[in-house]
Amino acid sequence: MQQMKVGRQENKGRLAQQRSKAPMSRRKTVAVNASQLRVMISGAPAAGKGTQCANIVEKYNLVHISVGDLLRDEVKNASPAGKRAKDFMDRGELVPDEVVVDMVKTRLAQGDVQRSGWLLDGYPRSASQAEAIEKEGIRPDVFLLVNVPDELLIERVVGRRMDPVTGNIYHLKFKPPPHDVVDRLIQRSDDTEDKCKVRLDTYHKNVDAVIGYYKNLMVEIDGNQSMEKVFANISQVIDAVKAGKDPLEAFCQQVPEADECRVYE
């Protein structure tokens, strides 16, 4: 009996050695509970929000929903909401919030969104829109606000140029164009300092009103950093949200070497 006991202890020791030698990697955060993630992101024009949305979608596999794109698609597909929206657009009027909310609700109810979660880009843009989606129970797990000083935003906008041949976007200071394309570059009509200031003023008034609905969910992100650092900050926030929604995820962030947290390729 004593020999059997010793044998078990030896086996345990060998198993522990084998585990310590086995290849291990940290658990892939993105694979856990992504279907429940609901993220809103807001940022001023030229804050780099588009780049960060692409990064978020790539890492977390969320469905990116831009209301501008959604509106264009609904009108193009002549859906019931799209037809209503087109009537207002043809008359040169703004599309009412209730029409846009119907589009958002319909999109959020679709299968890919239900499976993968969502990233709502730049919406709501006003207090009335925030109130409208609140009434429909559309609420994020986190509201990301990308902040960049106005003077830097103006510099980013005013120095922006587009190549009409390739569609590539350059910046005279931050992303200088090749010498052979400089002469054909164009500047968008609204990429002037005066028009940028008007857009920023409108943005600040609207976002200040929207923030009131998401104070407890809002995390401000310093957008005056490299794109890589900005995304690293965003990732930390989203990972923390995921950990709070998933007890196993929270445990594995604390004890990544645990058996249930191992990743075997």
Could you count the other beta carbons within 10 Å of the beta carbon of residue 72?
13
Q: Residue 27 catalytic?
A: no
End-to-end CA distance of the chain: 40
Contact 146, 223 (CB under 8 A): yes
Quickly list DSSP for 136-162: TT---SEEEEEE--HHHHHHHHHTEEE
* Nearest C-alpha neighbor of 84 from the set 206, 74, 117, 18: 74
Q: Residue 188 catalytic?
A: yes
User: Which residue out of 84, 107, 156, 160 is catalytically annotated?
Assistant: 160
User: Which residue out of 38, 49, 84, 156 is catalytically annotated?
Assistant: 49
Contact 240, 29 (CB under 8 A): no
User: Which residue out of 27, 38, 84, 125 is catalytically annotated?
Assistant: 125
Which DSSP helix (H) or strand (E) runs through 249?
helix 247-254
User: Which residue out of 195, 197, 199, 262 is catalytically annotated?
Assistant: 199
**Could you tell me the two tokens for 190?**
């609204």
Give whole-number Cα distances, 224 to 73, 127, 143, 148, 197, in Å.
Answer: 33, 26, 18, 5, 18
Contact 130, 210 (CB under 8 A): yes
Q: What percent of the residues of the chain are helix, what percent strand, and what percent coil, each to the nearest 5? A: 60, 10, 30
Q: Residue 19 catalytic?
A: no
Positions marked active-site: 49, 125, 160, 188, 199
